[in-house]
Structure 1
Amino acid sequence: MSSFLSTLSPYLPPHEGLLPKWLLFISIISIGNSIQAYSTLQYTSRVYSENPSLTPHQSTPLAPHSTATPLQGRTFGTWTLIQSLVRLYAAYNISNERFFELGFLTYAVAFCHFMAEWMVFRTAKWGGPMAVPVFVSTGTLVWMWLQWGFYVQ
């Protein structure tokens, strides 16, 4: 186990604390999420699974109870990839005020998007698939806000 960590260590962000490593971890997970959004609607349709006006002919065979379409899935995948890359840069440049701000803003945009889809547009319902991005974005926003002075001098 220690040899694995020593092999991995040179590739981790060179800053103190766990926040840069968390940003890197979430970036890697999000890149995987982008890939799956391009390859299947299975997970995207679990988040965007509510629409009171959806009729059976409006759903797709890939997502029978969802308004998610292949185009929307790919768009979501592209959006997630862009946010992942910004977060990746923020992880390795966390002491740079502009990178820190950009990373912070990606979580703010994600939080606002998911809250709007749930509470305003009603295209998402609360549950596991929705809770994960909301908790990650909220927790990371609070963590970054609290750690601003530690990383940005």
Structure 2
Amino acid sequence: MSASVSALRRWLIFVALLRLLSVYIGFFAYERFQTNLFDKQPSEVTRLYGRTFATWTSVTCVLSLTCAANPRVAGVYGATLFAFAAAFIHFFLELVFFQTISLFNALQTLIPAGISVLWMSAGWNYYTYMANIEVSEDNADSLKHE
């Protein structure tokens, strides 16, 4: 396995673990979203929003972990990339258009989502095509030695 694939896997696991905190907050402490995230318009955050946010975040968490397990599957890779792009767009719009979130709080999500979108977009061909070739060559080499 190449160092690049290992690095992406570690990143996806790290981001998924960070998301677990948001899942917990959404289900059990939605008020924290009012003060620690949507600080410009806290009244917009309801219990329903908290649960919806937690549900969406748990889905993206599982998606990231699934992609980390095998980033070579183009469908899973693409869905994971889309989830990061959707999160980036959502928080960018909340910051710029809806103005429900401060820049500092928006950056907490925009930075990891942005890094993920850039990394996964730039690496699309490598992770979904070239990494498969490397795996095939590794398997062929191991068969020769048996």
> What TM-score does the superposition give when structure 1 sets the normalisation length?
0.75
More deviation, 81-90/106-115:
81-90
Q: Say if 2:97 is the partner of 1:107.
A: no
Percent identity, aligned pairs only, is: 23
Distance 1:108 1:43 in 2: 24
Whether the 8 Å contact between 2:92 and 2:106 is mirrored in structure 1 is no
Which amino acid is the alignment partner of residue 131 of structure 1? Answer: L
Aligned match of 1:95: 72
CA distance in 1, matches of 2:21, 2:37: 16
Structure 2: which 5+ residue stretches go unaligned? 130-146
Partner in structure 1 of residue 27 of structure 2? 38
Does the 8 Å CA contact 2:9/2:71 hold for their aligned counterparts? yes
Structure 1 stretches (4+) deviating beyond 4 angstroms? none
1:68 corresponds to 2:58: no
Task: Show CA shifts across 1:82-139 (max 9, x none).
Answer: 1111111111120011111011001000001001111111111211x32111000001
Q: Does 1:81 align with 2:58?
A: yes
Q: Counterpart of 2:39 in structure 1: which amino acid?
A: S
Contact 2:72 2:128 in 1 (8 A): yes
Counterpart in 1 of 2:122? 146
Q: Say whether residues 1:19 and 2:4 are aligned partners.
A: no
2:62 aligned partner, one-letter code: L
Contact 2:13–2:64 under 8 Å retained in 1: yes
| In 2: Cα distance, 1:70 partner to 1:104 partner | 28
Distance in 2 of aligned mates of 1:48 and 1:32: 16
SS of aligned partner of 1:123: coil
Offset at residue 43 of structure 1 (A): 3.0
Matched residue count: 125
Instruction: Indicate the structure with greater helix content.
Output: 2
Letter of the structure 2 residue corresponding to residue 67 of structure 1: E
1:26-71 deviations in whole A, cap 9, x for unaligned?
Answer: 11221232012211124311211223xxxxxxxxxxxxx5421111
Gaps spanning 5+ residues in structure 1: where? 1-14, 52-64
Equivalent position SS for 1:16: helix
